[in-house]
Amino acid sequence: MCFNLFKPSYHKPGRVNPILDTTVHCERVVSGPVEEVKRQLPALEYVKDYLTVNKYSRPGNSLKDVRGIAIHWVGNPMTSAKMNRDYFEQKKGGGTSFGSTQWIVDLDGDIILMMPQNEMAYHVGAKQYMDGIQDKVGKYPNAHMIGIECTHVDWSGRMTGKTEFALQELVIYLLVKHNLTAKDLYLHYDVTGKRCHRYYVDNPGKYADFRNNVDRRLGVL
């Protein structure tokens, strides 16, 4: 609908309509110099709090080519990112379960990175995957996908506004960094059928809103 705002004289390559300067959506569809904005890696503030290299949560293997981002919920209301980071850390003691992601978004919007960005985590492994997904993200999706855990306030998986905003910033950062688009954004559910991120699985309209915001920010609508 934004196209209606353009007058023919503003369609010349390299010219930016000054009237549209405050409208991000419209800025993105102008060809020329503004188009290049979407390729600039946005700033992202986060804390590095790396797990110890261990068999169960930080194997130390490199990610292969990144083909997608997977969004998760921690499945434990009102727990902080640090508490969840420490949960993954204690997995190094051994046991039966493997699990981790690269990133966690806190209740207050702070972001923790749990291993170097080029390392693989265990977050979308399964005996059986959703039909067709391996054609997109590889036979072993963990090797090609970056995982983000989200904290949440209740068992519906509802996030604080700060968490959801920070999630959006992080997703955009990662998609730009790896030259991906909003089509490469997945829920854990899309990969394995697990009900994760629960809030987005159960509220597809809210998830569509989130994706549309990401899409709009990336300028590919």
Residues that bind Zn ion (CB under 5 A): 72, 188, 196
Which long-range contacts link 18-26 to residues 24+ away (Cβ below 8 Å)? 24/216, 24/217, 25/216, 25/221, 26/2
Residue 218 three-state SS: helix
| Identity of the residue, 109 or 157, whose beta carbon is nearer to Zn ion in the bound complex | 157
Q: C-beta of 196: minimal distance to Zn ion in Å?
A: 3
| CB nearer Zn ion, residue 67 or residue 188 | 188
Nearer to Zn ion, 72 or 85 (CB): 72
Strand partners, 70: 147, 186
Q: Which is nearer to Zn ion, 26 or 70 (CB)?
A: 70
Question: Minimum distance from CB of 204 to Zn ion (Å)?
Answer: 17
209: left (phi over 0), alpha (psi -120 to 50) or beta: alpha
Looking at the Cβ atoms of 123 and 217, the one nearer to Zn ion is: 123
Q: Kindly state the smallest distance separating residue 57's Cβ from Zn ion, in Å.
A: 14
Contacts 24+ apart (CB under 8 A), 95-101: 95/56, 97/56, 98/55, 98/56, 98/57, 98/122, 98/125, 99/56, 99/57, 99/123, 100/51, 100/56, 100/57, 100/58, 100/147, 101/70, 101/72, 101/146, 101/147, 101/148, 101/149
User: Residue 159 Cβ, how far from Zn ion at the closest point, in Å?
Assistant: 14
Residue 73 CB, shortest distance to Zn ion, in Å, is: 7
